């Protein structure tokens, strides 16, 4: 997913920087659709990350309440899985924030084009 994010971002940045002969309205709509896909992906990863975090907290509480070392090993395993989920969610979140900025730049091009046509 991160590779897809970078590939699309590179495509949009090149269109914006090189002032290619682009239909800006089409690019704005296409980019908005891609933002929607990424927002969905981000939501799913947030739910999975929160589930792992909750499970981690529950296993820690069980380990403390029942004083079982084996439950701490389960907690450690869950924590090891939780860290990459947090890192991946962080990348998705930052990517969406960057894409919002790109959308604003594309939208500005569309408005300038509309004003020039009038």
- Per-residue model confidence as pLDDT tens digits over 2-60: 899 999 999 999 998 887 678 889 999 999 999 999 999 999 999 999 999 999 999 99
Q: How far apart are CA 11 and CA 14, in angstroms?
A: 5
What mean pLDDT is predicted for residues 85-103?
94
Q: Say if CB 15 and CB 27 are below 8 A apart.
A: yes
Cα angle 115, 23, 4 (rounded to 5 degrees) comes to 130
Residue carrying the six token digits 């992906």: 41
What average pLDDT does the chain have?
91
Q: 18 or 116: which carries more pLDDT confidence?
A: 18
Phi-psi region of 65 (alpha: psi -120 to 50; beta: other; left: phi over 0): alpha
* pLDDT more than 90, % of the chain: 77
3-state secondary structure of 67: coil
This prediction has a pTM of 0.80
């Amino acid at each position: 997913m991160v590779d897809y994010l970078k590939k699309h971002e590179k495509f949009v940045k090149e269109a914006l920087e090189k002032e290619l002969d682009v239909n800006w309205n089409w690019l704005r709509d296409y980019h908005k659709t891609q933002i929607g896909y990424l927002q969905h992906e981000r939501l799913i990863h947030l739910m999975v990350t929160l589930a792992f975090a909750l499970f981690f907290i529950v296993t820690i509480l069980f380990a403390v309440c029942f004083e079982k070392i084996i439950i701490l090993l389960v907690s450690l395993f869950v924590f090891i899985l939780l860290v990459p989920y947090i890192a991946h969610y962080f990348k998705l979140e930052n990517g969406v924030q960057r894409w919002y900025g790109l959308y604003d730049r594309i939208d500005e091009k569309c408005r300038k084009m509309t004003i020039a046509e009038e």
